[in-house]
Chains A and B, each alone.
Chain A
Amino acid sequence: MMSARDRRILPLGRARSAAGLLMGLICLGSPVASVHADATPSDMQIMARALSFMQKPLSGEVGVGIVFAPGNPESARDAQQVQRILGNGLRVGNLILRPVLVPISEVARARVALYFLTAGVRGEARAVAVASRARQIPCATADLAQVRQGICALGVRSQPRIEILVNRVAAQADGISFSTAFRMMITEL
């Protein structure tokens, strides 16, 4: 039989249980920081949608130069993954993105309308920036560090929360600009 003391304690016990449940829910929902910079299908979708907000947007079939460093395993793996994601052509809105693998040594000669810089490229990445500026071809990446360093103008990340970065200096150098509404929605550097 429950004693009077037990009965007095019960409500507090329930309160603790409820608090525990709430804390459990909160902990369950805690985000797990992602350290993986490889591009995902969502990243590519977001990148394509972001490109549609350029003030002179790309349209139709667009050759995407997947720029990778052959000697860099992370970059090579990311390149293969992006190539798989784009397949024979990824349609997003009125864009069709067709993949073209571009070793970084060939970046200045690749016949593409957009560079996509794979993850993990470090010292050699400067060649992409130089080609972008010289050929006025925008550069996008899922490796946000490349945007912060001014290599690429546009960076996207879909997890855990969609983030879109634009490096204003790089964008200006690449000859691209975005609509005002778009600029209000994203992070500019």
Chain B
Amino acid sequence: MIWIRYTVTGRRLAAVLLLLCGHSYAQSIDYGALEQLVGEPVTTSVTGAPQRASDVPANMEIITAEDIRRSGAYDVPGVLRHVLGVQFQQWTNDQAEVSLDGYDQAFSQRVLVLIDGRQVYADYFSFTPWSALPIELAAIRQIEIVKGPACALFGFNAVAGVINIVTFNPVHDDVSSVSASAGTQGLSEGSFITTLQGGNAGLRIFGGGRSDEDFSTPMPPEVDNGGRRNESRRDIDLEGGAKLGDRGEVTVDLNGTDAAQNDITPVYSSEISEFATNAARVQLSYDAPVGLLEGSAYTNWMEQRAAPGFAGQEFDFTNRISVAQLEDLFKAGARHTFRVALEYRSDSTQTTPFGPGEVLYHVWSGSAMWEWKVAPSVTFTNAVRLDSLSLAREGPLPPGYPFTAGDWDRTLQPVSYNSGLVWKPDDADTLRLTTGRGALLPNLLNLGARLAVTPLIGLSGSPFLRPTTVAQDELSWTRALGAVGAQIKLAAFYEQTDAVQDLGGGFSDAGGAPYALPTNIGNSRARGVESGIDGTVDHWRWGLNATLETIIDRFDPEATDGVAFVDFEDTTPHVIANANIGWSSSAWEVDTYLQYDSRTFGLEPVVVGLVSQLTPVSGYLEADARVGYRLPHQITLALSGQNVLHAEQRQTSAAEVQRRVLGTVTMQF
């Protein structure tokens, strides 16, 4: 019984880190100038090239700074909650999980999250520790959500899509504000951002802190692994940039965070995590005759301590990622755009609690994108990426361990691709046919960095775990209803996931104590439809959307029906529907958001054994709301709330979610 809990803790441990992969020049683009030019949001998150949102060969959503402010949310997951295609789960007060097109779970692993193209997804444990991200909402220009595999541009792990958080650029954007909030659950929060500009250079500093308590609703005994603590986070980010003549730009970004929160692990057991992260990055871009050249390099350091750990031993994951990248984006003639990139990445995590040891890999990557404007109304885009990953392990092995050091001497070479055909038959309609494939790499914990030894049983990763691959085909249609200031969107997708990874299920006995191991347990299929309409009329803004989805898991017989720690078929709602309406005047802003999730199941560990079980979660309706009032001197008062319809509501297999209400005062300067 005890060792099962350890298993749970170990798997979800680590979390945060910043790694960067893929393309990274997003911050050197002057989003504001380009948006003013074309009259709509601009993104680089689909092909690597700057594109109008209406032209991209992908199903994507863009959340603007105004959307963020009027959401009333105080963190990024809260902002994302009501977006078409997003599945959201609130596990504890500070732990929310977000996925795209279903497949959400505790420590959601299928969406690659980036800040300005830099990865903040914690690939050593395959999740995004939202509270430990170095970001404040006031610093965000827009959030770009690309649905479907995007690994041909961004590399591993973007198998369900990408969420790219784009911040204001200190060279091009002058943003300064300070805010303070207080609310239920003992919430107190402060945040600031200031920008200093002079000549062709700029310096931006933002930071903040938050303290709150977890929900006071009881944790189900099956999930409760002992104790909850007050939650907190602090972050600081400093970015400076300068133009180098008319054609170049350099930026340097330094940031750090620390956070402590109550977590529900991927094996659905509670845990207390403390995160500490630091990152340093330098970027250089130059608009040369051969195209837009960009080089970037960065290192992310992250530590996660997780308690209670395994057999009285806490997990202490220390992770380091270094990335160097070079790319060229250029046009050949009037109709062809190309992007070629090379990337090197090293990623290592020390073994814990058994040590000293280190599991690491080095990755060389090459990628290319080709956009062909076949005709004025037709664009055909293709992208491919080849990664060559060399896995290794250093340090001693415990006696009786089922693996030798040579078992880690492996090379993985997954190929990722994206292809999209966009047809704009007129100024209002856009049809997109897209296909893509990507790989979800086994995380470093599951590759062996999690290593606990006791006389009775051990807990380990496996160097033989295979990557999960996801392939998706999608057909979508959008139509601008110019006369009523609205837009309709319809999309249908089919997604195939192979070699699903489970945190448990494997078992090895090499003569000493047996070891519990992660395994690949089968595949999964998903079919779904997204539909939405939204618009603005005079002082009003409104929207309706719904996602209908059916998932069929085909797991090994011993891993079905919630026995394994993944059961997408039963834990993904068939229907997620959202509605919002807002009104604003020169002084007032009033917004309401509704969400309905159909009946589903949650997972919870059984008392004995490395298995879980399903527990029903009724369909529920929740509401978020915000009222804001502008005072003179650019001061705004706001009252906002989440889950305001009920004092307590069951939304997952963990503790019931409580109503949250907070007041905020913001001053811009």
Contacts and interface: CB of A to CB of B under 8 A. Distances in A.
Given A50-B37, A184-B49, A28 B484 contact: yes
Contacts of A49: 33, 36-37
A181 B246 contact: no
Contacts of A30: 428, 483
A189 to B, nearest CB: 6
Contacts of A185: 34, 37-38, 42, 50-52
Interface string B459-487: 00000000000000000000111111010
A181 B483 contact: no
B489 interface: no
Contact of A26 (B29, B334, B373, B488): B488
A24 to B, nearest CB: 10
Contacts of B246: 55-57
A9 interface: no
A183 B40 CA distance: 16
A31 B426 contact: yes
Contacts of B51: 184-185
A153 to B, nearest CB: 13
B190 interface: no
Given A49-B33, A162-B39, A185-B37, A29 B480 contact: yes
Contact of A180 (B291, B480, B482): B291
A181 B331 CA distance: 10
B427 A31 contact: yes
Interface string A3-40: 00000000000000000000001101111000000000
Contacts of A57: 246
A185 B292 CA distance: 14
A183 B481 contact: no
B292 A26 contact: no
B39 A180 contact: no
Contacts of B331: 180, 183-184, 188
A91 to B, nearest CB: 14
A160 B427 CA distance: 7
Chain B interface residue number, banded: 35 or more
- Secondary structure call for the B interface: mixed
A176 to B, nearest CB: 13
A49 B34 CA distance: 9
A186 to B, nearest CB: 8
Contacts of A88: none
A81 B605 CA distance: 73
A113 to B, nearest CB: 18
A25 B330 contact: no
A187 B376 contact: yes
A55 B50 contact: no
Nearest to B328: A180
Interface in B7-66: 29-30, 33-34, 36-40, 42, 49-52, 54
Contacts of B427: 31, 160-161
Contact of A181 (B29, B334, B373): B29
A184 B481 contact: no
B200 to A, nearest CB: 13
Contact of A184 (B335, B337, B426, B483): B337
B481 A25 contact: yes
Contact of B287 (A50, A161, A180, A187): A180
B329 interface: yes
Interface in A27-77: 28-31, 46, 49-50, 52-53, 55-57
A20 to B, nearest CB: 15
A168 B334 contact: yes
Given A31-B426, A56-B246, A164-B37, A180 B481 contact: no
A43 B554 CA distance: 57
A179 interface: yes
B247 interface: yes
A160 B486 CA distance: 14
A189 B50 CA distance: 19
Contacts of B335: 188
Contacts of B329: 180, 184
B479 A26 contact: yes
B292 A29 contact: no
A49 B486 CA distance: 26
B37 A53 contact: yes
B410 to A, nearest CB: 39
Closest 6 pairs (CB-CB, A-B): A29-B481, A188-B334, A180-B292, A161-B427, A184-B49, A160-B427
30 contacts: A25-B486, A26-B488, A29-B428, A29-B480, A29-B481, A29-B484, A31-B428, A31-B482, A49-B36, A50-B37, A55-B246, A158-B39, A161-B54, A161-B427, A162-B38, A162-B40, A179-B247, A180-B287, A180-B291, A181-B29, A181-B287, A183-B331, A184-B50, A184-B331, A185-B37, A185-B38, A185-B42, A187-B376, A188-B331, A189-B334
Given A53-B37, A179-B287, A188-B335, 18 more contacts: A25-B533, A28-B481, A29-B480, A29-B482, A30-B428, A55-B247, A161-B54, A162-B39, A162-B40, A179-B247, A180-B330, A180-B331, A181-B29, A181-B34, A182-B37, A184-B337, A185-B38, A185-B51
Interface of B: 29-30, 33-34, 36-40, 42, 49-52, 54, 246-247, 287, 291-292, 329-331, 334-335, 337, 373, 376, 426-428, 479-484, 486, 488, 533
